[in-house]
Chains A and B, each alone.
Chain A
């Protein structure tokens, strides 16, 4: 009874407040101004997009993961391949200093610059960047890339970015979750207050999954004095073999699909 009362009070308070949707400031072009440094809340997605234990291999523990519903709808052959990939962390392309791809790059800090014709996203990790063309132009033909090709438009206050032309080499995380070159990602950036953007990505890959699935997490505006530092990676990376050694020391059920 007491809990119910509390719930009712909270509900009433929320109603009384009549929450107005956030109205972001506008650029000189009249579109929402979401410029700034943004950082995802620590969500462990770089280790695994699914809930995962902590530890050397899977980093910080995450009880929730970032995938809506907590399940990745793999086709049977693909589920088998994920299990195989978890035994071969030396194949993880990010360990070889490659691009993360989208949405993987979004688990790290980045900066947004808006111009009339395009929005530039500079990702700190792997010194990746992408230009999101906002002029209604189509994706290029006969082109595939680690970061794909990004074209965007505004739906109200939401920046919608369509990412096509993805290759089959980037991965979703360090836990073997992969995709094919049929990957198609639709990202939605919705500012909900001055310091927060809700990020949502719809992932479609008919060669690997049985249906599209979604992930979402919050992006926080970084402190005003935050400064990008160079993320150089090609410096003789030698940790791949250690990952394999570490893997051998884990109990067989440590990683659960």
Chain B
């Protein structure tokens, strides 16, 4: 009984004090491991948007209505940032001094994020943009520019222009969780910057390793990849519960 009380007390204490993350050899928070989201944001990103609202400009909505209706990932295009994070596939973070490397199972994407500041590249667009990182306390902040206008934020046709600017924040919140936040800015599309947030969960399955996920135009990998892995199991509504407004029961 005493043990149970002690445990309850220690849990409640843990909830109040910020998690102290383990460190890498160069003293930075250790983000390494295999992580995955367990939500449906890649189908409709408004589900993880603060206030569940995307502040569209009227002309952007009109543009969207006239635009293409086929999700670009159906043609094996890279999903862009931030969508790549919440595709329903795990990804692995590798850290070395001065660099954080993201290896995504989905369409074998990769990002090499330097944490030594450098200017963004100019005059060029990438599917995944140009990522420059730095540490703010225990949070990895990744500034992403040079994004093109070909990607969508989700399968629900939430679009953007090449003025898109994304600032991602990765903060360890527990032994098996990272808080992922992204501020999304595009003055040609949105009336103001808006924010999404979701937990990243460590994949703790023993012996779990990322597998190859390949895509040919017109399919999502199933046709040629016998080990096609369906969306990870988990609580699909966890992101809803993560917002204070949701906890209060009102929208």
Q: Which A positions have Cβ atoms within 8 angstroms of B?
A: 28, 35, 96-99, 111, 113-115, 120, 122, 126-129, 131, 133, 137, 140, 143-147, 169, 228-230, 232, 234-236
Contact = CB atoms under 8 A, between A and B. Distances in A.
Contact of B110 (A96, A122, A146): A122
Contact of A143 (B103, B112, B127, B211): B211
B216 A96 contact: yes
A230 B211 CA distance: 21
B226 interface: yes
Interface residues of B, number: 33
A146 B214 contact: yes
Q: Is the interface of A mostly helix, strand, loop or mixed?
A: loop
Contacts of A234: 75-78, 215, 217
B127 A230 contact: yes
Contacts of B207: 137
A249 B48 CA distance: 56
30 contacts: A96-B216, A98-B214, A99-B108, A99-B212, A113-B96, A113-B99, A115-B94, A120-B101, A122-B110, A126-B108, A127-B109, A129-B110, A131-B92, A131-B209, A133-B209, A137-B207, A140-B209, A145-B212, A145-B214, A145-B227, A146-B212, A147-B108, A228-B112, A229-B124, A230-B127, A232-B127, A234-B75, A234-B78, A234-B215, A235-B77
Contact of A169 (B76, B126, B224): B224
A229 B123 CA distance: 13
Contact of B126 (A98, A113, A229): A229
Given A127-B108, A228-B112, A35 B96 contact: yes
Contacts of A140: 209
Contacts of B215: 234
Interface string B41-52: 000000000000
B227 A143 contact: yes
Q: Which of A114, A143, A145, A234: most chain B Cβ within 10 A?
A: A234
Interface in B114-145: 124, 126-128
Nearest to B226: A144
A214 to B, nearest CB: 26
Given A28-B25, A145-B225, 17 more contacts: A113-B94, A113-B101, A115-B94, A120-B94, A126-B108, A127-B109, A133-B209, A145-B211, A145-B212, A146-B212, A229-B126, A230-B78, A230-B128, A232-B126, A234-B75, A234-B215, A235-B77
Contact of B112 (A98, A115, A122, A133): A122
Contacts of B225: 145
Interface in B43-100: 75-78, 92, 94, 96, 99
Nearest to A119: B94
